[in-house]
């Protein structure tokens, strides 16, 4: 019996990275999964991997900044599988990068449309379906960037802090419906989101490893493990929490002070979109 047997999940940003790793893990634990993403090629591959791992999955093209798309992704889960037990609001971008005085309003707004509005919409439209069946689990990807200051992307950091407090406030509202609301704060996870910055995966691996006390980069499976726990009945008494999975990064790190991270990787003012788009 899998830990998510007979449960139905929508995972946004599930065509690559953390979302894809989590979808495959959920499917292997018995869940039926809606892969909600803009990346059709990656989404089709994720569906195949979920099925190869013993589960069921379908792809739904989804722009998380669009209320109609989020509503459609949740409706797809109910139509295909009969209900919704879990939503994982995971889709993300690095977004606006560079100095605050040169960050454009458009890039700032585009960043928050994905990272903040996307989470809000996922919560808004998942709650009625979860209430209908007597409960559920809402999970969102925040970041250690929302917990601590550092030399990084300002719009991203602000958006991730918003996700953490939105998690807390919504958890209080829906607890009476047995709906749990938590978020995960990853540290340095080596995913395709870095493709726009460099094609040298080994360089990213080494850089992220240097940022934490455990001295290895994080991988999608590390976050999938926490998401699985929060989605499962094992976490029935956990809500309103920001779960840090960072290899010890927030215990003390100097990565944000390095010229390599702040200057060499992000460089001049720019906007970094979805991981499947080339810069």
From 156, 256, 266, 271, the catalytic residue: 156
H or E stretch covering 60: strand 56-61
Q: Which residue has the higher pLDDT, 276 or 39?
A: 39
**Token reading at 226:** 């926490």
CB-hemisphere CA count at 13 Å for 64? 32
pLDDT confidence tier of residue 151, bands split at 50, 70 and 90: low
- What average pLDDT does the structure give for the chain? 91
Q: For residue 95, is pLDDT > 50?
A: yes
CA separation (Å) from 79 to 76, 137, 262?
Answer: 5, 19, 45
Rounded to whole angstroms, how far apart are CA atoms 41 and 46? 9
**Token reading at 76:** 């797809």
**Token reading at 34:** 């809606």
What are the extents of the domains in the chain? 8-272
Task: Report the pLDDT averaged over residues 114-140.
Answer: 98
Q: For residue 259, is pLDDT > 60?
A: no
- Does residue 156 have an active-site annotation? yes
Confidence (pTM):
0.89
Q: For residue 141, is pLDDT > 90?
A: yes
Q: What are the CB-based long-range contacts (under 8 Å, 24+) for 40-46?
A: 40/15, 41/15, 41/276, 42/15, 42/16, 42/276, 43/14, 43/15, 45/15, 46/14, 46/15, 46/16, 46/19, 46/20
Task: Report the pLDDT averaged over residues 120-131.
Answer: 98
Q: What is the pLDDT of residue 257?
A: 46
Q: For residue 230, is pLDDT > 50?
A: yes
Taking domain 8-272, whether its CATH number is 3.40.50.150 is answered by: no
Nearest to 91 by CA among 150, 22, 45: 22
């Amino acid at each position: 019996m899998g830990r998510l047997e007979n449960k139905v999940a929508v995972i946004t940003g599930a065509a690559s990275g953390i979302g894809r790793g989590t979808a495959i893990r959920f499917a292997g634990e018995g869940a039926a999964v809606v892969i909600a993403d803009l990346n059709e090629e990656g989404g089709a591959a994720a569906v195949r991997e979920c099925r190869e791992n013993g589960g069921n999955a379908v792809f739904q093209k989804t722009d998380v900044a669009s209320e109609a798309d989020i509503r459609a992704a949740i409706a797809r889960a109910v139509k295909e599988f009969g209900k919704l037990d879990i939503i994982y609001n995971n889709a993300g971008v690095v977004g606006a990068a560079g100095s605050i005085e040169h960050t454009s309003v458009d890039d700032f707004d585009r960043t928050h449309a994905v990272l903040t509005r996307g989470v809000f919409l996922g919560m808004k439209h998942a709650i009625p379906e979860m209430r209908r069946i007597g409960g559920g689990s809402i999970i969102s990807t925040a970041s250690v960037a929302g917990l601590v200051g550092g030399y990084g992307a300002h719009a991203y950091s602000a958006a991730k802090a918003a996700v953490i407090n939105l998690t807390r406030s919504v958890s209080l509202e829906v607890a009476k419906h047995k709906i749990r609301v938590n978020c995960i704060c990853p540290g340095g996870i080596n995913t395709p989101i870095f493709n726009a910055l460099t094609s040298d995966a080994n360089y990213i691996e080494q850089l992220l490893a240097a940022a934490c006390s455990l001295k290895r980069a994080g991988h999608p499976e590390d976050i999938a493990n926490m998401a699985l726990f929060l989605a499962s009945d094992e976490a029935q008494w956990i809500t309103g929490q920001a779960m840090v999975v960072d290899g010890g990064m927030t215990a003390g790190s100097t990565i944000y002070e390095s010229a390599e991270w702040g200057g060499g990787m992000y460089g001049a003012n720019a906007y970094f979109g979805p991981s499947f788009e080339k810069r």
